[in-house]
Amino acid sequence: MNRYPNNEEDFWCERFNEVQRMDRILADEKIYQETRPHAIYKPKLYKDGNEWCALLGDNIQEGVCGFGKSPKLAFEEFDKNFIKEID
């Protein structure tokens, strides 16, 4: 990309391309967030002692769960556990 466009048309073309790149990045991030396991399966979220628990299933022994100091961290652990292989 030329940092110093030769004319105004080049300048606006470069700005347009930058906006398109940013729109694509934002769209990719939105798709990623919407396809994470917790967004699709919507586990129950509740406070368990001093942590949050995201639970899919009837209990933590048989279901998939994640714990964290915040709902976000509980969902992140849930997503990791969701795709982890069972030993």
The neighbour count for residue 78, using CB atoms within 10 Å, is 25
* Contact call for residues 44 and 54 (beta carbons, < 8 A): yes
d(CA 11, CA 19) in angstroms, rounded, equals 13
By C-alpha distance, which of 55, 78, 18 is closest to 10? 18
- State the pLDDT confidence band at 7, using cuts at 50, 70 and 90: confident
Q: What is the pLDDT of residue 87?
A: 67
Q: CA nearest 74: which of 47, 40, 35?
A: 47
Task: Note the pLDDT tens digit of each residue in 26-56.
Answer: 999 999 999 999 999 999 999 999 999 999 9
Domain ranges of the chain: 1-35, 41-83
pLDDT in tens, 18-33: 999 999 999 999 999 9
Instruction: Give exposure, 16-30, as e/b (b: 16+ Cβ within 10 Å).
Output: eeeeeeeeeeeeeee
Q: How does pLDDT run across 56-86, given as a tens digit for each residue?
A: 999 999 999 999 999 999 999 999 999 998 7
